[in-house]
Structure 1
Amino acid sequence: MRRPIKYQIIKLTITGAGNFPISAETDKAYKKVTGLQYSGTDTAALKDAVFTKFEIDSNEIFPDGFEVKLIQTGQEVSPNKRFYDDIEERADGSTVSGSFQDAGNATAYPYNARIYLRLENRQDDAKA
């Protein structure tokens, strides 16, 4: 039996200031993307880091210039509460695309950045 929730990770290696493409496909076994979260290995890099575009299934989630720090939480937050959850987009193999722009504030390069997608199959989805 498949678990009702899966966490899919989009991994980026940030090698310096500039734009880094985001390109992934959601798991076809899940119907909805219900949460997003950012995690990075260099917290100083968050200063002025933005998405220049972030879309799921060709729907804009975050506009150009959206600060990445707004979807990042600290370890003091319970894992189940860390996700930006004002989202309910189609998963089912849909495309995740966009660009992460590093402003050059990291303490060291390269660093790792991860965007976590919470994917779900809800009982309501089975009826639809």
Structure 2
Amino acid sequence: MSLPDPPAPIVHPAEYAFGDQVASAEEHLVGQVDQLLRTRFGKPVEAHLAAPTATDFAALRRWYGERAKGWQPLPDVEGAAKAGRGQGFGFSHGDQAFVMVWLTRDAAEGANPVTILRYGKAG
């Protein structure tokens, strides 16, 4: 059992086009969340995505909540993401976890980097 990739307009970009400063901030964000979960779930598989600045992440969180029947929310992810200067949410199911984190950027910058972390053998 796993949760799907997010719907459009969130996409897998052909290349990482956010630059070194954003990449460093995203790495810090992912590290904060991974530090929280790695001892419980192991090493994650990461997917790097891009979301338009107008993306409604609250609606995306609800979209995942509807698909996460039988999964448990991971409320600590939100705090870890905030400590990493971003936002995020996650769900777990047995030895699996699904986490989405993102950096919120200025609308003039065009897109937000989004990372999905999938933990566990079928995550």
The structure with higher relative contact order (CA 8 Å, sep 6+) is 1
TM-score by length of 2: 0.30
Larger radius of gyration: 1
Structure number with higher helix proportion:
2
